[in-house]
Amino acid sequence: MKFKDDVAIITGAASGIGQEVALQLAKEGAKIVLVDLNACGKTINSFEQGTDYLECLGDIKDPKFVKAVVNRTIEKYGEVHILVNNAGTCSRLDLEDMTLEMWDRDLNTNLKATFLFTQAVVYPHMKEAGYGRIVNISSVSGINGGVVSGEEKNGRSGPAYAASKGGVIALTRWVAKELGKYGITCNSVAPGATATAITAGVAYDTGGQVIDRMGEPSDIAEAVLYFASRGAGYTTSQVLKVDGGISIG
């Protein structure tokens, strides 16, 4: 079992990509800390019998909640090996219609929370252990300015989402440079259009992709598991696009 006895914190674990990451890590022997604003019953009910897990429900934008999650993890398991910053929001308002409320929501959920959890697991826990795997879910929108859907308006991911995910990529690279000396790697997976709640109801034209279909959460989870593994110890600061080839020029 590739992740036997590893302790993994996963944000946004109630559904979608986070749920799939949790299930795959658990199947490989990891102890799972499920973090979400919503109850994770669907994920928990899908675990194999005997899976060791901890559910933490709250707002990942709240520093006190983030610290409480990490403290509960350490109290129960004594250590933390893997952090997957997955939870996110995506407003689809264009620049003209973008509100400050939506801007703050996307930036705080996607970028601020990634910073908060990274800081909380590294200092002192991963640093003292001399080991850690941090995987941040960004997006090809943070690279190319937004995946265009088939709709004329409010289909493309908005400027707040693109800015937040671009920030996640920049933060990933900064953290990787800072923490490599402690045996901690930090990488990012950048999905393209993927069938989750965020993309529900949005019509994506995948005909221009090399692989003509929407991505599935399992496609993204497979990439996350590589970065989270002990075998990825010489890989850091990378942004892996899992996008069906849409980024090919």
CATH of the domain at 63: 3.40.50.720
Is 248 inside a domain boundary? no
Known catalytic residue at 123:
no
- The secondary structure of residue 111, as a DSSP letter, is I
- Hunting for tokens 């264009």 — which residue is that? 94
88 falls within a domain: yes
- Please report the pLDDT score of residue 148 as a whole number: 59
In a domain, 247, yes or no: no
Q: What pLDDT was estimated at residue 149?
A: 52
User: What is the token pair recorded at 84?
Assistant: 């997957």
- Compute the average pLDDT of residues 83-100: 91
Domain housing 197: 7-242
Q: Which of 161, 204, 226, 234 is catalytic?
A: 161
**129 within a domain of the structure (yes/no):** yes
In a domain, residue 179? The reply is: yes
Instruction: Tell me if 249 is assigned to some domain.
Output: no
pLDDT digits (tens, 9 = 90+) for 209-230: 898 888 899 999 999 999 999 9
pLDDT at 136: 98
Q: What is the structure's pLDDT at 174?
A: 98
* Residue 132 within a domain: yes
How does pLDDT run across 156-213, given as a tens digit for each residue?
A: 688 999 999 999 999 999 999 999 999 999 999 999 888 787 777 777 777 778 988 8
pLDDT digits 0-9 by tens, 32-69: 999 999 999 999 999 999 999 999 999 999 999 999 99
Residue 72 domain-assigned? Answer: yes
Q: Which residue has the higher pLDDT, 249 or 104?
A: 104
* Structure confidence at residue 248 as a pLDDT band (50, 70, 90): confident
Find out whether 193 and 167 touch, Cβ atoms under 8 Å: no
Please give the full DSSP string across 112-156, using - where no structure is assigned.
IHHHHHHHHHIIIIIHHHT-EEEEEE--THHHHS----SSSSS-S
Contact yes or no for 7/73 (Cβ under 8 A): yes
Classified as helix, coil or strand, 15 is coil
Region 131-156: mean pLDDT is: 78
Q: Provide the domain count of the chain.
A: 1
Q: What is the average pLDDT value for the chain, to the nearest integer?
A: 93
Burial profile 53-84: b = 16 or more Cβ within 10 angstroms, e = fewer: bbbbeeebbeeebbeebbeebeeebebbbbbb
